[in-house]
Amino acid sequence: MESEARYAWVGGTLILLFLALAAGIYWLSGAGDHPSAKRYTVYFRKQSLEGLQIGGEVRMRGIKVGRVTDYTILPDTARGVRVLLEVDARTPVLDGVQAEVNRKLVTGIAGVDLVNTTIGGAPLTRRFAGEPYPVIAEGVPEVTRMTGELIDLGSLGGVTLEKINLLLSQGNQRAFRDALENTRDLTGRLGQVAPVLRETLEQSRRTAESLARAGVAAESTLNTAARDLDSLTAQSRDTLSEARTVLELGRKEVGALSMSLRLSADLAGQDVQATAKVLRDSGSAMQQTAHALALPEALLFGAPRDDLGPGENAR
């Protein structure tokens, strides 16, 4: 009985030690301080999962925020591999988040990096039909982008080398050599005609100076002509004003002269009528005198008895 009691005490002590060890490990891991984790599903179709294993790190901005809990290689090759992630509930997994597989250069161990492509988005909670957890879209890792850019750069480099080889072909080299020889000949000819060109440039400079002086003189002449024209315009304006005044005065004087001429004509007409009457009377008197002179005996002896009128007596 005493041995059985001692075994029971040892067993209970061991159980307590195991429970204390588990509690210590749980406390040291800080699991009690963290809220529950959230699970997400990622379908990797384009990226290589080499080095990725269960328990691998899930990072966001370089900080470990979870782990890989499971993966399934799907029979449909178009869907690739389904990976189940467990992420700390405090991690901001937002709509538009992408999952990228990145590896450490030294160890080759892969992890999953979560990258939020939007700012201020809503948490990722939508689930597709048949999916127990929200699905995170597959992204393109930085290494893959760099590899693609290097491939494109290599392609461009190959095309560039082909164009350079084509440019440096024998025919082009001969053409370049001929062009250099022509350039050398042209340079020699330019050296020969340099004095003539220098003299031509000097003449052009003198011509430009002469034109500049002529322009200054023309500007002065034009200014003087403009002033004279302004003065002539002012004088013409004054002359026109005076002519208008003279015309007005002439119109008034012509009216008065016309009135005087009309009065003079009336008076002259009356004088002519009076003169004509006097002339008629003088003509009658002259006729009578002529008639009397035609019969001088009548003046001496009187009119004949036959010519006497009623009541007249002979002398």
Asked if 75 and 107 count as a contact pair (C-beta separation under 8 A), the reply is no
The confidence score (pLDDT) of residue 42 equals: 93
Q: Collect the ranges in the chain with pLDDT lower than 50.
A: 31-34, 299-301, 314-315
Give the CA angle between residues 232, 238, 240 to the nearest 5°.
Answer: 100
59: enclosing H helix or E strand: strand 57-60
35 vs 189: CA distance, rounded Å = 90
The confidence score (pLDDT) of residue 203 equals: 85
Q: What pairs with residue 81 in β-bridges?
A: 44, 73
Q: What pairs with residue 40 in β-bridges?
A: 85
The confidence score (pLDDT) of residue 241 equals: 76
Q: Work out the number of other CB atoms within 10 angstroms of the CB of residue 133.
A: 16
The confidence score (pLDDT) of residue 92 equals: 92
Tokens of 200: 């031509």
DSSP class of 178: H
Radius of gyration, alpha carbons of the chain: 70
Per-domain residue ranges of the chain:
35-141
